[in-house]
Amino acid sequence: MFQILIQGLLLSGLYALIAVGFTLIFSVGRVLNLAYGVSLMVGGYTFFYTAQVLEMPKLVGVLLAIVVGAVFGLLKYRLLVKPLKGDHVAIEISTLILAVVIQAGIILVFGDATKILHSIIDGVWQFGTVSITANNVAAALGSWVLILGLYAFIKKTHIGRAMQAVSMDQKGAAISGVEPDKVNAATWVISGALGAAAGVFFASYTQLSPSMWVAPLIIAVAIVIVGGIGSIIGTLIVAHIIGFMEIITTTLFAAELRGVFTMILIIAVLVIRPRGLFGREEL
């Protein structure tokens, strides 16, 4: 039971970071970024190339991954989302197509073979009778540092308060002097950076492949549907529910059933409470 508790907390922290970056876009921009998983993949491959191919320090690899993710997020907004402003269906289809194109590009550059990412921190930590890799602890702690950093940014900075205003009422925010375009651009940059960091953690937790963008996207969509699309608090709570469900399933039942109970939960929520457990809320 203690093992389930520890592993559930670690996995849930990572899932929370994955989902927060995804729901942030919807909270502010009201669109579903179906290329969000690509931000994770871009972050993972940036870390792989810098830390394992070029043999740069791992911390430098993580920081470069975040920078590349932020730039990638900005390019998505400026070149794809902004020109399609107002057409949510076109944006969602276009971001999904972009994800497939980027996957093909990754295959051309790195090949389609699965790669094992080096641990961010080597070693094994002992929690009572439970042994946990230092890498998984670092991934969970790093995830929460970024989540808390995002919270502080939103509550304490000018651009963060502008994001709150746009998430409540974009037209009203514009009338009061907020520039929605700049706020949306900043949101995509932040989401891209968070996604890239999550990609490094996720790939070090599992593995790196050109199709790795799919699983995080499914995780993020599942969490925001159950929690309530746009609800940050709902996202954090449901990330822990799903994280623990997966650990319990793989520990007590079979690894092949991983994700099954999550899908059942999604169907149940859609039938009983379509707005999600916590509904929609502003930042």
DSSP secondary structure string for all residues of 118-146:
PPSS-SEEEETTEEEEHHHHHHHHHHHHH
Residue 62 lies in a domain: yes
Residue 236 lies in a domain: no
Chain-centroid distance of CA 40 in Å reads 7
Contact in structure between 227 and 274 (CB atoms under 8 Å): no
Residue 22 lies in a domain: yes
Residue 49 lies in a domain: yes
Instruction: Enumerate residues 6+ apart whose C-beta is below 8 A from 109.
Output: none
CA distances from 226 to 1, 31, 191, 220, 230 (A): 25, 17, 20, 10, 11
Residue 277 lies in a domain: no
Partners of residue 208 on adjacent β-strands: 115
pLDDT tens digits for range 30-57: 888 999 999 999 999 999 999 999 999 9
DSSP secondary structure string for all residues of 176-219:
TT--HHHHHHHHHHHHHHHHHHHHHHHHHHS-B-TTTTHHHHHH
Separation between Cα atoms, residue 109 and residue 106, nearest integer Å: 5
| Four-residue CA torsion sign, 264, 199, 160, 171 | negative
For residue 40, give its domain range.
2-209
Residue 263 lies in a domain: no
CA atoms within 13 A on the CB side of 104: 6
Instruction: Enumerate residues 6+ apart whose C-beta is below 8 A from 168.
Output: 282
Q: How far apart are the first and last CA of the chain?
A: 35
Average pLDDT estimate for 246-255: 83
Six-digit token pair at 126?
């002992």
Separation between Cα atoms, residue 29 and residue 81, nearest integer Å: 10
Q: In which band, very low, low, confident or very high, does the pLDDT at 282 lie, cut at 50, 70 and 90?
A: low
Residue 219 lies in a domain: no
pLDDT at 132 over 80: yes
pLDDT tens digits for range 201-241: 999 988 899 999 998 999 898 888 888 876 788 889 999 99
Residue 282 lies in a domain: no
pLDDT tens digits for range 135-163: 999 999 999 999 999 999 999 999 999 99
Average pLDDT estimate for 119-133: 83
**Domain total for the chain?**
1
Separation between Cα atoms, residue 180 and residue 246, nearest integer Å: 38
Separation between Cα atoms, residue 209 and residue 172, nearest integer Å: 43
pLDDT tens digits for range 178-191: 888 999 999 999 99
Q: Which of 13-22, 112-121, 127-136 has the highest mean pLDDT?
A: 13-22
